[in-house]
Amino acid sequence: MRHQKLETVQWEHAQARHNPRLGTNPSLKSEDHARRACRNSLARPIRALVLGNACVATRIADGLIAEGLEPELEGAFAARSGVELPLSTDLDAYENLRRFLGEYQKQTMGNGLVHPGVSAWADRSELSGVCQELGLELVSPAARIVSLFGNKLNLLLEAEKAKIPHLV
């Protein structure tokens, strides 16, 4: 009964969004068509790209599946798309990262997540910037935090400012 009520609310929401009198979507010609469009849009899980070592990425993917997401490992995506994730030490690493994630963004239509896993990019704040530029969500601490932990001296200075005791 609860599922039926939820479906009715979702259908009414779809009707409001696709009301021909409002001129928002004239391609939905019938109530049945609107109901199917709503059901299809709600049934698609959010895709998540997991970077890094396949063994660890598989464990991360299992957790994402449990949360209702549709994960894809970096290697599988690279084989399917023909675009490889660059090493973070490559000369053109930033541009190649933009190309790699740009391809993922096209395939997910901007509705995807990126999990850095234990890849070299997990420690680089540039990953956050590229994801933000492309409209992808990054499952990671903020770029400032990643950058702070990448530089131990700055981390210790910030700890001192915040009066957090440390051993160094």
Task: State pLDDT tens for residues 44-95.
Answer: 678 999 998 889 999 999 999 999 999 999 999 999 999 999 988 888 888 9
**Total domains, the chain:** 2
- Predicted local confidence at residue 91, as pLDDT: 87
Residue of 152 and 78 predicted with greater confidence:
78
Regarding whether 137 and 80 lie in a shared domain, the answer is yes
The yes-or-no verdict on residue 42 having pLDDT over 50 is yes
Question: Which string of DSSP letters, residue by residue, matches 4-40?
Answer: HHHHHHHHHHHHHHT-GGGTS-TT--SHHHHHHHHHH
Distance of alpha carbon 99 from alpha carbon 132, whole angstroms: 14
Ranking 29-33, 74-78, 119-123, 158-162 by mean pLDDT, the lowest is: 29-33
Paired strand residues for 115: 50
In a domain, 163, yes or no: no
CATH number at residue 143: 3.40.50.20
Regarding whether 77 and 139 lie in a shared domain, the answer is yes
To the nearest whole percent, how much of the chain has pLDDT over 90?
A: 33
Q: Indicate whether this model's pTM tops 0.85.
A: no
Regarding whether 88 and 60 lie in a shared domain, the answer is yes
Q: Which residues span the domain enclosing 106?
A: 47-150
In a domain, 75, yes or no: yes
pLDDT for 99-148, tens place per residue?
A: 999 999 999 887 889 999 988 888 888 888 899 999 999 888 777 777 77
Distance of alpha carbon 76 from alpha carbon 111, whole angstroms: 19
In a domain, 139, yes or no: yes
